A and B are shown apart, each in its own frame.
Chain A
Amino acid sequence: MFPSDEVLLHQIASTQSNALAALYDRYGRLVFSLALRMVGNTAAAEEITQDVFVQVWNNAATYQSALGKVTTWLTSITRYRSIDLLRRRNVRPDGHMLEDSLEDLVLSGRREELPEIQVEAKTDKQQIRLALADLPEEQRAVLFLAYFQGLSQPEMAAALNQPLGTVKTRVRLGLQKLRRILEDGELAGR
Chain B
Amino acid sequence: MIQEHPIDELPAYALGCLEESERQAVERHLAVCAECRTEVAALRDAAANMALSVDQVEPAPQLKSAILARVAPVQTPVRSMNLGDWLRNLQPAWGVAAFAMIVLLVVSNLILWNQVRTLTQNAPVSNFQVVSLAGTGPAEAAHGVMIVTENGRFGTLVVDALPELDKEQQYQLWLILDGQRTSGGVFSVDSWGYGALVIRAPLPLNAYSDFGVTVEPSGGSPAPTGDKVLGGSF
Contacts and interface: CB of A to CB of B under 8 A. Distances in A.
B19 A153 contact: yes
Majority SS at the chain A contact face: helix
- Band of interface residues on A: 35 or more
B68 interface: yes
Contact of B56 (A29, A68, A78, A179): A29
A13 B37 contact: no
Given A13-B109, A17-B72, A147 B52 contact: no
B51 interface: yes
Contacts of B66: 46, 50
Contacts of B71: 17, 20, 53-54, 57
B11 A69 contact: no
Interface of B: 8, 11-12, 14-19, 37-38, 40-60, 63-64, 66-68, 70-72, 75, 106, 109-110, 112-113, 116, 119-121, 123, 160, 192
Interface of A: 10, 13-15, 17, 20-21, 24-25, 28-30, 32-34, 36-37, 45-46, 49-50, 53-54, 57-59, 61-62, 64-69, 71-72, 75-76, 78-80, 83, 124-125, 128-129, 131-132, 143-144, 146-148, 150-154, 156, 168, 171-172, 174-176, 178-179, 182-183
Given A20-B68, A75-B48, 4 more contacts: A13-B109, A29-B59, A50-B66, A67-B41
